[in-house]
């Protein structure tokens, strides 16, 4: 064989693809298991990706729904508030219209009736009055205007309410302004 012929044989052999086959049946079984595991892993990955995309879409839908619900709740809350205050406004208008013709007693009765209407409207809306007379001073709900010596009251208790406070469904709107007792001395 000449050098050219051996080169041609080498080139021909190199040009033909060689396939490597597993030498044992165990390696073939192992290869099939790995291919099956790969296919299962790819399927799980696709399923997880689909679940992720659905979760992202669901989250966005929840956000939009929550925003709509909050907007509706605010709108409804204001409508309820306004509806509760309309009778109070009507009562005040009537008082203004009759102010020139009414005596002091009927004006006082009208004011008391209007105050009752307003109190009922606020109660319906969840607004409660904080009137802590005689209770221990609570800085979370009361604002001390001053301290005053007292022989009869417990130290750090409220002896006078200067201005009542208000809560809305348990949340402080305005603290009660109070005078607090201190020990004589």
- Pair 143, 176 in one domain: yes
Q: Is the pLDDT of residue 52 over 60?
A: yes
The reported pLDDT for the residue numbered 168 is: 93
CATH number of the domain enclosing 152: 2.30.22.10
Residue 113 has a CB neighbour count (10 Å cut-off) of: 14
Q: Is the pLDDT of residue 103 over 90?
A: no
Per-residue tokens: 91: 């009562």
The reported pLDDT for the residue numbered 156 is: 94
Give the mean model confidence (pLDDT) for residues 69-95.
87
What is the total count of domains within the chain? Answer: 2
- Pair 120, 137 in one domain: no
Per-residue tokens: 175: 């603290």
Residue 176 has a CB neighbour count (10 Å cut-off) of: 26
Torsion from C-alpha of 118, 122, 123, 129, nearest 10 degrees: -90
Q: Residue 119 domain-assigned?
A: yes
Q: Residue 157 domain-assigned?
A: yes
- Pair 149, 104 in one domain: no
Q: Residue 8 domain-assigned?
A: no
3-state secondary structure 92-132: HHHHHHHCCCCCHHHHHHHHHHHHHHHHHHHHHCCEEEECC
Question: Which tens digit of pLDDT belongs to each residue from 1-32?
Answer: 565 565 556 555 555 555 655 567 788 889 89
Residue 78 has a CB neighbour count (10 Å cut-off) of: 10
The reported pLDDT for the residue numbered 78 is: 81
- Pair 134, 121 in one domain: no
Which of 12-16, 79-83, 140-144 has the weakest average pLDDT?
12-16
The reported pLDDT for the residue numbered 6 is: 57
CATH number of the domain enclosing 80: 3.90.20.20
The reported pLDDT for the residue numbered 26 is: 81
Angstrom CA distances, 69 to 19, 57, 74, 81, stand at: 66, 18, 9, 18
Please say whether the beta carbons of 179 and 158 come within 8 A.
Answer: yes
> Residue 117: left (phi > 0), alpha (psi -120 to 50), or beta?
alpha
Q: Residue 26 domain-assigned?
A: no
Q: Residue 121 domain-assigned?
A: yes
Q: Is the pLDDT of residue 121 over 70?
A: yes
- Pair 113, 136 in one domain: no
Give the mean model confidence (pLDDT) for residues 36-42.
96
The reported pLDDT for the residue numbered 24 is: 78
- Pair 48, 118 in one domain: yes
Angstrom CA distances, 72 to 66, 75, 78, 83, stand at: 10, 5, 10, 16
Give the mean model confidence (pLDDT) for residues 64-70.
94
Which of 93, 125, 157 terminates a domain? The answer is 125
Give the mean model confidence (pLDDT) for residues 113-140.
93
Q: Residue 7 domain-assigned?
A: no
The reported pLDDT for the residue numbered 146 is: 95
Residue 96 belongs to what domain range?
A: 33-125
Average pLDDT, the chain: 87
């Amino acid at each position: 064989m000449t050098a050219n012929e051996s080169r041609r044989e080498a080139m021909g052999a190199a040009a033909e693809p060689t396939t490597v086959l597993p030498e044992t049946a165990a390696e073939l079984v192992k290869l099939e298991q790995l291919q099956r595991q790969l296919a299962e892993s790819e399927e799980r990955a696709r399923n997880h990706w689909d679940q992720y995309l659905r979760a992202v879409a669901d989250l966005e839908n929840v956000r939009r729904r929550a925003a709509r619900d909050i907007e509706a709740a605010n709108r409804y809350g204001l409508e309820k508030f306004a509806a509760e205050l309309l009778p109070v406004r009507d009562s005040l208008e009537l008082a203004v219209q009759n102010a020139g013709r009414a005596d002091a007693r009927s004006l006082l009765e009208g004011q008391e009736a209007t105050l009752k209407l307003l109190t009922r409207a606020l109660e319906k809306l969840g607004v409660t009055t904080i009137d802590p007379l005689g209770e221990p001073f609570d800085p979370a709900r009361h604002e001390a205007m001053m301290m005053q010596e007292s022989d009869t009251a417990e130290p750090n208790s409220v002896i006078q309410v200067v201005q009542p406070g208000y809560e809305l469904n348990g949340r402080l709107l305005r603290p009660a302004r109070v005078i607090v007792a201190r020990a004589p001395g």
